[in-house]
Structures are given as C-alpha cells and as structure tokens.
Amino acid sequence: MVKEHTFYEKEERCRRVFQMTLRKYGGIWHLCTPGEKQPVIFRNPEDYVFAMTLVAMCAYDCPQVQIITFEIMSNHVHFVICGSKEEVLAFFELFKKRLRWYLVKNGGQRDLRRFNCDEPIAIETLESLRNQIGYTNRNNFVVDPDQTPFTYPYGANSYYFNPIAKERQTSLFGDVNILKRRAFVHSRQADYPLSYQIVDGYFSPMNYCRLDIGEGVFRDARHYFHKLSKEIESYRDIAAMVGDAIFYTDDELNDVVYRICKEQYNGQKATLLGKDEKLSLAMVLHFDYNADNAKIARLLRMPVEVLVALFPLKKK
C-alpha cells in the first residue's frame, strides 16, 4: 500500500505547480465579460456548441496562451487563462471577432457592445488561483438548480476530477472528410488536429485545456470539492473584482444566515428574530449576497410585500 502524502507535501506540490506556471507563461488571469445588462448571446444549443468549438479553435490559433478552465454562460464568458496580458487579450479579441461573424451569419447581429474584457484580473497567489477556478466552474451551478458543477456541459468544469468525463468522446475530427470538417468549424480554414476528440458536437476541452495545471493546484479531489461548495465569502470578493452579479444557492445563503445569527444574535434562529433584526439581516443578504426578495422571504419568513417595498428592483 502506497503511503499517502502529508498535507504539507501536497501543499508544497501545489505551490510548485503554481510557481512554475506563473514563471513559464508570464501571467495567470481571470478574463470575463460583464453579465449585468448584457442581453442574451447564446440562445440555443447550437450557439453553445459553436462557442465550445470556437474556444478550441482560438486556443489552437493562439498557442502562446493556455486555458486552465472556462465557462460559457447565456450572456457572458469566464476564462482562467495563462499568458501575458497582451496575449490573453488578443485571444479574447479573436474569440469575439469570430463569434460576431457566426452570430451575423446565423440569425442576425446580436448586441455585443458590453461583451468586452478591457482589464483581466491578475491572479498572483496560489489561493487566488484556486478561488478563481472554483468561481468559474460553479458559475452555472448557482444559477440553474438543475445543474451541478459536474453536469453543466458548456465549459471545462465537468472535467475536473472526473475520469468518466475525460474518457468520453463521440468521434475524432479526422473521421470525416474535409467538407464536413469545414462545416463543423463553420470555416473554410479547418486546419485543426485530426486527432482532436469530439464530444456532444464540439471539440472536447480535453484537447486543449490544461487540467494538469487546474487540478494540480488542489491537494486532491476532496479539496477541490470543498472549494466549490464552502468558499462562498471568497466568491463574493471575486464577483466584486470582476463586476459580476454573484449568486448563491438557498443552502449557501442558509449557511450565511446561520453564521450571522451565531455571531450577532447569540445563535437565535433567524425566523425568531425581531422585526428590526430581520430587516437588518435582509439588508445584508440583499446588498452583500445579492439575494432576491423571494429568497430572503423564504430564509427569514418575512412577508414578501415588505421586501418589495424595501428593494423594489428585486421583486423575484
């Protein structure tokens, strides 16, 4: 039986992976576009499938950058990516240019005025990289109650610490003739590796995502899962940095309420707090945790009419 590495040995290995990545590629960044006030871009499965293949194409055509993880949402995208600032911005501009061409060709121009990333967030510490990966990989999970970070198909999230996903493939790019390869990438330029794996109609992230780096900065799968589910305070700070609208599940907000009640109200149950205490807690949930009125009403058992009067722009 192989002796398990100690906590400190695992941390040292993670630290080496981070430092070598930073040194080799010149920078690690969280590149994202604003979700607030950006109309829906990806309207149907075909749009998402093309976007997934487009990420692979741009990654191949920009070999100076390395994608650690990414996620495509209905109106914005997230990338955790390696390279110089100039290189990662060039990657994004290529992605945006080709995306605009596809959208025009398939249903007319869509509003991409806010689909920009002028200032990616520099990732300068190991813990920051862990948090940025977790934030990206859980992005859809906190919005869609029918998804988990391991089921959402439009990103690299489902491949993390998931050997079954890594082994999936429908076919290889080289299995079809040149005309079908051109149709697959929506371009006459179809000079992508014939060995690229295809899954669910798009190039698998296994072809180009640096999961060795992404998984390598976590001690093990348990550590990664803990980051996804328990580091919600860190994710609030990241959302503020990138200008994103942070969302939490009901269970996560319930943990927040429990902690606040324990720290400020002697452990009293939130539902038994007085009117003033509930209003104060509702303000925290609204402004600090982006909770909508329906969630606050459920958590604190408050009349939703009171919350609508307090927060009229968040009636849900």
pLDDT given for residue 1 in this prediction: 44
Summarised one tens digit per residue, pLDDT across range 236-287 is 666 656 656 666 777 778 878 888 888 888 888 888 888 888 888 888 888 7
Predicted confidence pLDDT, tens digits, the chain (316 residues): 455 689 999 999 999 999 999 999 999 999 999 877 778 899 999 999 999 999 999 999 999 999 999 999 999 999 999 999 999 999 999 999 999 999 988 876 677 888 988 889 999 999 999 999 998 998 888 778 888 889 999 999 999 999 999 999 899 999 999 999 999 999 999 999 999 999 999 999 999 999 999 999 999 999 999 888 766 656 666 665 665 666 677 777 887 888 888 888 888 888 888 888 888 888 888 877 778 888 888 888 888 888 888 788 654 4
pTM as predicted: 0.80
Residue 197 falls in which region: left (phi positive, over 0), alpha (psi -120 to 50) or beta: beta
